[in-house]
Structure 1
Amino acid sequence: GGFRMRLRAPRLVALHDPRTVRELDELRGRRVRAIAGIGNPERFFDMLRRHGLQVEAVAFPDHYDYRPQDLAWDDDLPLLMTEKDAVKCRRLGPRDDAWVVQVDVQPEAAFVHRLKKLLLERTGRG
């Protein structure tokens, strides 16, 4: 049989200060700009919309090499991005309104138990 994975509610982590964390739902009903340079950016944008955000979506090609002008807009919309994009955007300088959307996946307990058992069997410690 298969195992289920549960998505935890996404959190927002400040791009330039990982100690600053907010719940994504705090932005429910607000307009945000979301960028994504991933294989399926619409999936990211749709997830944000499902959480009640009004998304101004900007898709970049997969593996895009961001430049400072890619993050410069003449408005005060919060800027949301994927964890993958954050790796490339951190080096572009501070931006107080830039947030990384963290999505955590939690496997069910039966999966973790089965995985541990298999690993122990394979390493000869079981």
Structure 2
Amino acid sequence: EIQTYSPRDRAVLRAAKQDYGAFFWEEIAYRKKFGYPPFAHIIRVMLFHTLEDRVIKAAQDLAYSIRVSIPAEKKDDYQILGPAPAVLPKLKNEYRWQVLLKGKNPDCLRQIVHAGVKMFCHGSCSSQVKISIEVNPLN
């Protein structure tokens, strides 16, 4: 028996039937359609602070910094997701927000995120905000 808050979720339904092959093919089709790995790449920048309003403002500023770091001729090749609360929005007395950048060229993604984070770090909102950067996060 499976206990879940999402009994109609396709992953839960396939797992209950032990139909892993069907789950794989559904998941791979979904990932291709919406541009998720392995068909594209994602870089997630996670921001942490003990004050929620500070981390929200920082995440907004970071998203802006990343957005303006995308070359004009490549705007359609990249998608910014967020800022948004992390899956676990508060952990160890710190609020957690994230900004994701999605695109097909991993080298360009890294350059854009590097430029955006650098710009963000020169701004006042970055003070005492911790960040972590993850390439193709698993969750």
Tell me the TM-score normalised to structure 2 length: 0.25
Tell me the TM-score normalised to structure 1 length: 0.26
Q: Which has the higher helix share?
A: 2
